Amino acid sequence: MVADFASLAGVRGLAEQVRLDFPQGIDVLINNAGVYEQSLEKSQDGLELTWAVNVAAPFLLTSLLLGAVRRRVVNVASVSAASSIDFDNLQQERGYSAHGAYSLSKLADILFTYEVADRLKTAGSPVTCNCLDPGTVNTKMLLAGWGPIGMHIQPLAAPRGTGAAQPFHAAVVCCTASATGSKDANDEYHVATDPALDAVSSAYFVGSRQARSPAVSYDKAVQRRLWGVLEEQTGARWDA
């Protein structure tokens, strides 16, 4: 499956296709798509492109697929996540910096991860939501923008210890032109499937180990303020 993550309509179409193709649901949603834009660009919906692809798109997609996810949501963050957030300059209109835009987007991913986890817990859902810093990975994004962005649903071997006989379906949202390293993939697989993490939610991982994310990411008021902004930007409505 392929979709344009610079388009909210494209994200909605992708979610609809996943639900049609997998009416039984999916086990895991891994939000791993991302861009690093050297100059200020706008998405089809008028959002700064890095923000649109790295934050608004996974936020909307998660809201649309959350009812279909049976086990886990994993958002991929970055060691480059910012340590602060300026709500008056989310769209980078006061002087664009490629690193600044990317770092802000990764902090936003952590913030909305924690809010999703809290909402799932409050709703009594068994689904968990965590985020992951895979470290520095050799991808084309480090050198330039990425190519077509999409999703593939891949059958994986059932996680050890689950006793599951059926294939384990993970929705991996990625950039098809990227060249991720094996360590990155192993870390994501660990957070997405390790039975030892069944009850772990609202956690931040560096590689395969739990760690602390930037201090501001634990601020509930900041999490909720960002949530409101993203709901307004995307039109997302949440079941949890």
What is the residue-level pLDDT of the chain in tens, covering all 240 positions?
Answer: 888 999 999 999 999 999 999 999 999 999 998 999 999 999 999 999 999 999 999 999 999 999 999 999 999 999 889 999 999 999 999 999 999 999 999 999 999 999 999 999 999 999 999 999 986 554 555 454 434 444 445 555 555 555 554 554 555 555 433 334 455 568 899 999 999 999 999 999 998 899 999 999 999 999 999 999 999 999 998 865
Q: Please tell me the distance from the alpha carbon of residue 184 to that of residue 188, in angstroms, as a whole number.
A: 6
pLDDT in tens, 173-215: 554 333 344 555 688 999 999 999 999 999 999 988 999 999 9
| Within a domain: 1 | no
Q: CA torsion 16→19→22→24, rounded to 10°?
A: 180
User: What is the structure's pLDDT at 159?
Assistant: 54
E strand segments, the chain: 26-31, 69-76, 128-133, 149-156, 168-175, 204-206, 209-211
**Structural domain range at position 156:** 8-234
Of 36, 102, 114, 204, catalytic: 102
Residue 164 token pair: 């599951």
| Within a domain: 12 | yes
The amino acid at 198: D
| Within a domain: 239 | no
User: What is the structure's pLDDT at 156?
Assistant: 54
Residue 198's CATH number = 3.40.50.720
| Within a domain: 149 | yes
User: What is the structure's pLDDT at 150?
Assistant: 45
| Within a domain: 38 | yes
| Within a domain: 240 | no
* Total domains present in the chain: 1
Told to judge if 204 belongs to the known catalytic residues of this protein, a careful annotator would answer no
Q: Which residue has the tokens 């990155």?
A: 184
| Within a domain: 229 | yes
| Within a domain: 78 | yes
